[in-house]
Structure 1
Amino acid sequence: MKLSAFQEKIVKEFDYICKLTIKNERKDYFKHLQRISSREVSFSELGEKALSHFSTTDLIPGDYHTFVIKGIPIKIKSTALSEALKELTSRKREILLLYYFIGMNDPEIAKLLNLSVSTVNEHRLNALETLKHYMEDDYCEK
């Protein structure tokens, strides 16, 4: 079957549009690859801190010290910190752990432990001073 001149023109226009679309799509793809490669970084070029975000370390019970406060287990990896916390009174240790590890504020801790807010604040500040002195002494001994 022979095509008329009009049909031939339509076929040639369609062929041109298809080739143009493929050509432009190819250009877009190479631009996309260039954008990606300009942002990509090899793992060997990353620093230790950045690489640590891509991995995890399993902790076994011997790797950390656990303190339980009101049924909430709090795990501390630092041996020096856990030893310093053991030197505090149980009340001060509870307040510090609830404040810094659980993220509770003084009024919440006061309500949980049936204390006044000022008492919680005072215990927390005193405990921090005690920890500071204990850890400085421990550091100086080494």
Structure 2
Amino acid sequence: MEQSSFQDEQTVRHQFDSLCKLALKSEVINYEKHMAYRQKYEVMLSELSEKELSRLFIMEEHEMETHRFQVLGYDIEVKDALIAEALQTLTEKKRNVVLLSYFMDMSDADIAREMNLVRSTINEHRRRSLELMRKNMEESANEKK
């Protein structure tokens, strides 16, 4: 009787192993189908071109009060009213140095070349301009309080 019970137990184990293998094979097939579907219909964002990326969203810009400054043929737009107000208090040379430096990302040497000045003069104009702007912006902020 022990032999029969051992054989029944072996049969049940083989049946269970067979069922597990069948389930795993089925899962592999489902996974491979899913991955094939994803590969066919999905693309990583990093693989999209600029044109394709731009179609995925809309950037809505509201009409904001902007201030425009003309500097050496460049049209520079300043969106922050407080900064624009502080820039308007500067002399034209100092304003031009700040705008070219911070809004056009030009180096001191490039600005000096464009304005026919010495590089150290540009550095000094920028330093003094920032001090004046800071002072004007602080005064403006204190007045609003």
Which band: TM-score by shorter chain? 0.5 to 0.7
Runs of 4+ off more than 4 Å: 20-23, 29-33
Q: Is residue 91 of structure 2 the alignment partner of residue 89 of structure 1?
A: yes
1:11 corresponds in structure 2 to none
Assess, with a 3 A threshold, how the Cα gap between structure 1 residues 87 and 32 changes in structure 2: closer, same or farther: farther
Deviation of 1:117 (Å):
0.4
2:28 corresponds in structure 1 to 24
Question: Which residue identity lines up with residue 69 of structure 1 in the other structure?
Answer: V
Secondary structure of the structure 1 residue equivalent to 2:69: strand
Give the Cα separation in 2 of the matches to 1:101 and 1:108: 14
- TM (norm. structure 1) is 0.63
* Percentage identity across paired residues of the two chains: 35
**Deviation digits for residues 53-112 of structure 1 (CA, Å, limit 9, x no counterpart):** x5523354x621100111111111111111110000000000000000000010000000
Secondary structure of the structure 2 residue equivalent to 1:63: coil
The alignment covers a number of residue pairs equal to 102
Give the Cα separation in 2 of the matches to 1:80 and 1:65: 10
- TM (norm. structure 2) is 0.62
Tell me, which stretches of 5 or more residues in structure 1 are unaligned? 1-19, 34-53
Give the Cα separation in 2 of the matches to 1:74 and 1:133: 23
